[in-house]
Amino acid sequence: MYRPPNPIRLLILWIGLGLARAGLIDRERAIQTTELAWPRIVTGIARMSKGAVDVALVGVAVGTSAVAGVGFAGPFWGLAFALGGGVAGGTIALVSQRYGAEAHDELGLAVRSSTLLTVVITIPVTIVFWLIPHELISIISSNQAAIDYGALYLQYVGLGVPFAALNLVGSRTLVGADDAYTAMLVRAGGAIANIILSVILIFWLDMGVIGAAWGTVLANIAVTATFAMGLVWGRFPTMGEFPVQIDPTGTYVDPGTLHDLVEIGLPVGARNLVWTVAEFPMLGILDIFGENTVAAFVIARRIWGIMNAPGWGFGLASSSLVGQALGKNDEGTATAYGYDIIIFSVVTYALSAVIIAIFAEDLVVLFSDDPAGGEIPIAINLVYAACVAVVFAGVSSAAAGPLDASGDTRVPFVSQFIGMFGVAIPLAYLGATTPLGYWGLYLAFVAETTVPAAINYWRFQTGKWKGISEAYRPDVTADD
């Protein structure tokens, strides 16, 4: 299949080759990392841009209270990615090692088991969101207008939770099988469709926050259907061949595989859940500052999400390439990939942070119907703090990649937990209740990445993850 030139790919490749010429990383590994990372980066930018556009559309069409309401619903919607991401963390570990070892039967079993597990754990979440949305949003805020908007959004967007989680499993399956490009086409296409649907539903049909929710649900259903058909058929029209083909009639309930998925994926899901759960007390603390600060934080987090997109690419590229090397029992190559991708990631993050900092004010004003609104200066300063914090996110995500690939997923969870609940949230609370003020929020932004970065990198350097991976390597290896 013809792959047209992509500016993100060219930029990432330019950075990688520059680092290789400087003798900082290996040239071939830079190229391989680029080919796996850039599609995921594009996907991340598209998906985070979708979230940012939703907030901007709601802000322009409805107002600050609606932005705050969607922000309050955000952590609940994040459960889809915490739960689905947990299962998908187990999926990419098992798939990448089996793909590297050419153990295709075990690979198919891993995907089917992941699908079943995802459906079982996400449907109850949808039911709860539909039945008690007001009660859930009221946990965070006492702002009645924001609660009403947030409850409406949560009730309808909750219908998309199982589909959003399944999309992560489908994406990780392809990335683990060395094909991030097809995963990008599917998920980025879904993000673009989401934006188009949201514009139509919010403005043309005047559906407000409900329109934003339905746009998300319909786009996720379309993406799930595409992954399902492509993996079953082994190809999809306009996308060409998929790297693997999954027999949908095979075994779904295999105790050993389900055990491995839970054992690997539970800490990954818990790590993702840290981000989600932490937003509840964080938004409650922000509510003390007032509605403008809540809206400013929501805006800054959407911009942060776009800035953090490189981590999607480098983290998953590291998981895939390290996992494939481990599947071939080549621990030396696995380690080399880990170090090179960490360097590659940090430099890329630093460059993106500089660009965002330069245009911070121009970006923030896009999210408000009043360019002179009280949330604007607060959001700009939060974006500057995010530009500092995001460089450390490059270390954290890239160092976590080899740990995820090996099944050593507990340490990244602990590091994220300590960073958020042990440091970031206390700093934000001090800001809300002492003269520290907004500096507490700025420092909280930085703390949530520096702590995980330090711990994850330390764990990677110990090399203990290589021994842990032996328990999850396939029974059939390339050397057999």
User: Is the model's pLDDT at 252 over the cut of 90?
Assistant: no
User: Is the model's pLDDT at 69 over the cut of 80?
Assistant: no
CA-to-CA separations, 336 to 195, 318, 405, 446, 473, in angstroms, rounded? 40, 10, 14, 28, 19
Are 266 and 407 in contact, with CB atoms under 8 Å apart? no
Indicate if the alpha-carbon torsion angle 392, 73, 218, 121 is positive or negative: positive
Q: What is the pLDDT of residue 163?
A: 93
The full set of domain ranges for the chain reads 7-469
Question: What crossing angle do the helices spanning 144-157 and 104-131 adopt, rounded to 10°?
Answer: 140
Question: What is the C-alpha to C-alpha distance for residues 401 and 412, in angstroms, rounded to an integer?
Answer: 10
Paired sense of beta strands 235-236 and 240-241, if any: antiparallel
The residue count of the chain comes to 480
Which tens digit of pLDDT belongs to each residue from 77-91?
Answer: 777 777 777 788 788
Q: What is the pLDDT of residue 168?
A: 87
What's the whole-number mean pLDDT along residues 301-322?
Answer: 82
- Cut 0.85: pTM above it: no
Residue recorded with tokens 């409805």 = 62
User: Is the model's pLDDT at 395 over the cut of 80?
Assistant: yes
- CA torsion, points 390, 395, 396, 397, in degrees to nearest 10? 90
Q: Is 236 helix (H, G, I), strand (E, B) or coil?
A: strand
Question: Of the spans 114-128, 270-284, 466-480, which averages the highest pLDDT?
Answer: 114-128
Question: What is the C-alpha to C-alpha distance for residues 94 and 229, in angstroms, rounded to an integer?
Answer: 21
Lowest mean pLDDT among 33-42, 151-160, 199-208, 367-376: 367-376
Question: What is the C-alpha to C-alpha distance for residues 422 and 415, in angstroms, rounded to an integer?
Answer: 10
CA-to-CA separations, 59 to 181, 191, 300, 320, 335, in angstroms, rounded? 33, 19, 14, 39, 46
DSSP element (H, E) containing 168:
helix 161-176
Are 122 and 87 in contact, with CB atoms under 8 Å apart? no
CA-to-CA separations, 174 to 83, 183, 292, 319, 444, in angstroms, rounded? 19, 6, 41, 12, 35
DSSP element (H, E) containing 241:
strand 240-241
Please give the residue that has the higher pLDDT: either 369 or 200. 200
Percentage, residues of the chain above pLDDT 70: 91
Which tens digit of pLDDT belongs to each residue from 162-208?
Answer: 998 899 889 888 878 878 788 878 888 888 888 888 888 888 888 88
Q: What is the pLDDT of residue 480?
A: 41
Q: What is the pLDDT of residue 477?
A: 44
Are 97 and 109 in contact, with CB atoms under 8 Å apart? no
User: Is the model's pLDDT at 462 over the cut of 80?
Assistant: yes
Indicate if the alpha-carbon torsion angle 155, 156, 162, 166 is positive or negative: negative
Q: What is the pLDDT of residue 368?
A: 64
Question: What is the C-alpha to C-alpha distance for residues 354 and 357, in angstroms, rounded to an integer?
Answer: 5
User: Is the model's pLDDT at 374 over the cut of 70?
Assistant: no
Which tens digit of pLDDT belongs to each residue from 25-38?
Answer: 999 999 989 988 88
Residue recorded with tokens 């981590």 = 311
User: Is the model's pLDDT at 228 over the cut of 60?
Assistant: yes
DSSP element (H, E) containing 438:
helix 438-462
User: Is the model's pLDDT at 159 over the cut of 90?
Assistant: yes
Are 449 and 389 in contact, with CB atoms under 8 Å apart? yes
CB within 8 A of 384, min separation 6: which ones? 357, 360, 442
Q: In 162-177, which positions are buried (b, 16+ CB within 10 angstroms) versus exposed (e)?
A: bbbbbbbbbbbbbbbb
List the one residue out of 314, 353, 318, 351 whose CA is nearest residue 336: 318
Backbone angles phi, psi at 141, to 5 degrees: -135, 155
